[in-house]
Structure 1
Amino acid sequence: MTSPSLSAVPALPGDDPNAVVKAFAANRAFRAAEWAELTTEDNPYRRPVRPDDLAWLDYSGAMPAADALKLSGLLGHRMLRNVYDLDALYVAPAPKPAVTADQEAFYSQENRVLSALAKPILEHHLFTFLEEGRTPLERPTVAAATGHVLSSFEQRAAAPNRALDAVLKTAGKREAGTFLMLQLSAFLPAMNTAVGRAALGEYELAATSLRPFLLDEYRSWVNSSAAYGKLLAGADLKTSAAAYWQLYLGTSLARGNHLHHLAVNRENLFAFLGALVHKKMDESLTRDRFAHVFATSLTADTGYFDGVGTVAEDGLRELVERLLTPLAAVHGDRVVQEFHRGFTDAARYAELWEADLETQVTWADSIQEYQDKAVKIDKYLTDENIEVDLDTFVESNEETSTTHVHDEHRLVMIESGQMHFWNNVTHKIELNQGEKLLIPVSRLHGSTVLSGECTYHQPIIPDDLLARIL
């Protein structure tokens, strides 16, 4: 019998970037979700991508900054996480035939080859927008980089966290707190895996203290595994990899993917160090805020955050200087310039995540309000005899729509039948004949048909028309 790792090299999809991405996403482990797969706690290899949408999405160029929360970003980061995770070890909690089949497909030679081809395409599409609006340091010195980090620390410490504050403002605090914990589970393990990956290598001649520092950082994460598990248990969640894949925001995946991107592509070491310093600063500034939100919304065991180190201004100054000074003495200005790039890009992702999460939990907490808005919009279109673009779907029992976002505002209008609509693991929203719901642009959601057949329509509402009606 031929070992799976020694199987023949697969036929390659050619030079078309979109053909490469489609071929990679065709892996059985990434197939569209079925009705029972809202969560996959027993299958770390099952990561639905929604591959049918790749027929019209374009990955041949860079994603504009304005599209960072849209569908190509969400699906792109799902695929890229699958690329990065191929080099990590995942073991299923129990052997089952379907799980074993997904494991074989996930770790197959074909998937490794296609992931290597898809990786630069996805990275170019997803990360190029970071170059827009990035402000370089006036002078590429260690002192200037340190000053920028300390200034960012002061600004962040003084500012509210919009995402965490939004959770506390919801009526359904347990639901919002659970969703927040889902997002933490999407990027926190990934970031720490990236740190462990970066520790591998032989580089003592250039930076004698770097490897011990990185190993200590990863060891701290490993030692906190029991406390992390207790934290997730407060929301009835498990630590299995990709267990809540369909509920991860694109920005949550992006935060983990960005650090992986800098760790995997070894030429980005100096930028990786900048992003890592941002990680430590961010964790220091948010640990007490996270603990308060989870204790309030979930009565969770927040002991995990007691083990997250605090970094004050003096500690940050010492850390930046310790990391950069020996490297800059050998490799010059490039060290500081790249460090600054990694730090500012990580900060940008943190800000994007904060805004995305605030909007998502606020919308999810106000579904009745958005059902009322949908009725108002539909009445306005009818009364004013306004025609808009419309998609119609006829789906059968248990037909499931893998979670996704829309690139425009849409109504969901049930003509006949019944479906479950969801945006969290905590509950499902029942939509029956005649009922309507407004789904704003970039809001994560999925659905499953409950009746024998369900016919529903999705009118597309342009920005200016929505503003005029509401």
Structure 2
Amino acid sequence: MTMATPDRTEADAGARSVGGLGLGDCAAMATRLAGHPALHPAQVDELSLDRPDYRRPQRGEDFDLVGFDRPLDVDAGVDLRALTYHRLLFVAHELADGLADDVGGDPALRRDARAILPALDRMCFASRVRHAGPPGAASDRLDLAAPGFWTALGERAAWGTGVAALALQMQPLVAVFQRTPTLAARCAPLHRGAAGLVGRAAGGGVAASSGHGPGNRHVDWQFYLPTALALANALRSRVVEPTEVAEAVAALLGRILRAAQTAAPSDADIDLAPVITDLGSWRSTGGPAAALAAGFAADLAAHLVWLSEFEAHTAFAARCRRRMATLSVPLPLDTFIEPRHMVSTTHVHDDHRLVIVETGEMVFWAVPGMRCRVKAGEAIYVPRGRLHGSSVLTETCRYHQPVIPEDWLADAPVGGGR
């Protein structure tokens, strides 16, 4: 279902307005909605929430950086703009549907959410429904639907964690099916299959979304990948025909689960066979929906490889630091000085970076339950587009984020941006 590129007249009009709102109005409404005091960023003890109501989509400085000044590019998938736009659209749907009416007790929140939805739909999807989808699909070594991918995860003792991570990323989709009766009826096999995956991962001794399971109103919303949010938003916004999205997701999920089941370790405590059977034989028809699903698979594969090779990426960070010491011109970097308990809402970078702690100590995370302590003198490597967050454990923490050049990546581990 590839659609034609818009003509010059439509493109010029789109530069001035989107979804019936001027870009300036859209940006102002987005900033007001996201900055409402009821939507404060999660604190260090709120990464997995008992209540799902504290969902500021992004840090204030990131909103200033993103600007909401244009629709997403056709190849946007895992950059900061895509994450921020899709988080805001996801939260706006929750508010507009009355699923978070208790947030702050402010009716203006729901009103603002409903008003901005048409514009946000266009901002997030206008380019994607006109093209086949984002380029840069995962290589064979990062293919979630390849048995070799899951075998490699098993060799790193990460097979169960990978299944749990897949279940976590399916939760926004499960929620859409549960709350949309007509869609759930049309796509019952995918609904059951996705819910079954979440339940089996949680019941198999592997914590899927902190053990909350489906229908939890997104207590782990900070850990949803931008591509998973894009799939859920595509279903909810109906900018792409919902059944086409369901077919693409079900076909992809079936291939992934069959590969995972084939490569399951002998002592695996998660039986995926019933979920595979329940999905039945779905065929993806291509087009924008399939491209969104493929982008999600590539994003999750890269995320899992990065996490499963964290030690290798830490070693790569050390090699980068040694190389930095030989440079006559320093690499560009950002420096931060943050107080105790300062929390960085999970985010992504649009370039490859090191995180080098000069003084103090921080804790770094990228999935629920992860607590990686980084002390003074230590560094970690964060590839472009990898979701992560941190908080400060000492009175203050001074750290640097140098940008790693592309030509240094030949020495990076798999999943490190190559």
Q: TM-score range by the shorter chain?
A: 0.7 to 0.9
Counterpart Cα distance in 2 of 1:307 and 1:89? 35
* Unpaired stretches in structure 2, ≥5 consecutive residues: 1-20, 134-144, 414-418
Counterpart Cα distance in 1 of 2:263 and 2:191? 21
Structure 1 residues 411-446: Cα deviation after superposition (integer angstroms, max 9, x where no partner): 111101111111112331111110011111101111
Q: Is the 8 A contact 1:76 1:122 kept in 2?
A: yes
Give the aligned partner of residue 140 of structure 2. none
Q: How many residues align?
A: 375
From the CA coordinates, give the structure whose radius of gyration is larger: 1
Matches within 5 A, 1:59-458: 59-88=68-97, 90=99, 103-105=101-103, 108-131=106-129, 133-134=131-132, 160=146, 167-168=153-154, 170-190=156-176, 192-193=177-178, 196=180, 198=182, 215=185, 217-218=187-188, 221=191, 228-234=198-204, 235-236=206-207, 237-239=211-213, 240-262=216-238, 271-289=241-259, 299-300=269-270, 302=272, 305=275, 308-311=278-281, 344-458=287-401
User: Does residue 1:21 correspond to 2:30, yes or no?
Assistant: yes
What is the CA-CA distance between 1:227 and the residue it aligns to? 8.2
Counterpart Cα distance in 2 of 1:380 and 1:465? 9
Structure 1 residues 276-302: Cα deviation after superposition (integer angstroms, max 9, x where no partner): 333443444445445567887861364
Give the aligned partner of residue 95 of structure 1. none
What is the CA-CA distance between 1:74 and the residue it aligns to? 0.9
User: What is the aligned counterpart of 2:64 among 52, 55, 65?
Assistant: 55
Q: 1:434 to 1:283 in 2, by over 3 A?
A: closer
Counterpart Cα distance in 2 of 1:17 and 1:87? 16
Counterpart Cα distance in 2 of 1:405 and 1:35? 18
Identity of aligned residues (%): 24
Q: Secondary structure at the match of 1:30?
A: coil
Q: Is the 8 A contact 1:231 1:302 kept in 2?
A: no
Q: 68-77 or 20-29, which moves further after superposition?
A: 20-29
Q: 420-429 or 292-301, which moves further after superposition?
A: 292-301
Q: Secondary structure at the match of 1:105?
A: coil
Counterpart Cα distance in 1 of 2:169 and 2:301? 12
User: What is the aligned counterpart of 1:36 among 31, 34, 45?
Assistant: 45
Counterpart Cα distance in 2 of 1:296 and 1:407? 39
What is the CA-CA distance between 1:465 and the residue it aligns to? 5.0
Q: Is the 8 A contact 2:159 2:264 kept in 1?
A: no
Q: Secondary structure at the match of 1:308?
A: helix
Counterpart Cα distance in 2 of 1:244 and 1:295? 28
Taking structure 1 as the reference length, the TM-score comes to: 0.70
* Unpaired stretches in structure 1, ≥5 consecutive residues: 1-11, 91-101, 136-158, 200-213, 321-339
What is the CA-CA distance between 1:345 and the residue it aligns to? 1.2
Q: Is the 8 A contact 1:173 1:297 kept in 2?
A: no
What is the CA-CA distance between 1:49 and the residue it aligns to? 1.4
Q: 1:419 to 1:49 in 2, by over 3 A?
A: same
Q: 1:346 to 1:464 in 2, by over 3 A?
A: same
Q: Is the 8 A contact 2:350 2:384 kept in 1?
A: yes
Q: 1:162 to 1:469 in 2, by over 3 A?
A: closer
Q: 1:466 to 1:198 in 2, by over 3 A?
A: same
Letter aligned with residue 117 of structure 2: K
> For the aligned residues, what is the CA RMSD?
3.4
Q: Secondary structure at the match of 1:375?
A: helix
Counterpart Cα distance in 2 of 1:301 and 1:468? 37
Q: Is the 8 A contact 2:355 2:402 kept in 1?
A: yes
Letter aligned with residue 453 of structure 1: T
Q: 1:309 to 1:171 in 2, by over 3 A?
A: closer
Taking structure 2 as the reference length, the TM-score comes to: 0.78
Counterpart Cα distance in 1 of 2:257 and 2:90? 25
Give the aligned partner of residue 16 of structure 2. none
Letter aligned with residue 251 of structure 2: M
Counterpart Cα distance in 1 of 2:189 and 2:281? 18
Q: 1:89 to 1:178 in 2, by over 3 A?
A: same
Q: Is the 8 A contact 1:27 1:105 kept in 2?
A: no
Counterpart Cα distance in 1 of 2:222 and 2:267? 22
What is the CA-CA distance between 1:163 and the residue it aligns to? 6.5
Letter aligned with residue 33 of structure 2: F
Structure 1 residues 295-349: Cα deviation after superposition (integer angstroms, max 9, x where no partner): 878613647616624126xxx6xxx9xxxxxxxxxxxxxxxxxxx7xx5211101
Q: 1:256 to 1:457 in 2, by over 3 A?
A: same
Q: 220-229 or 110-119, which moves further after superposition?
A: 220-229
Counterpart Cα distance in 2 of 1:181 and 1:383? 44
Q: Is the 8 A contact 2:318 2:379 kept in 1?
A: yes
Q: Is the 8 A contact 2:170 2:194 kept in 1?
A: no
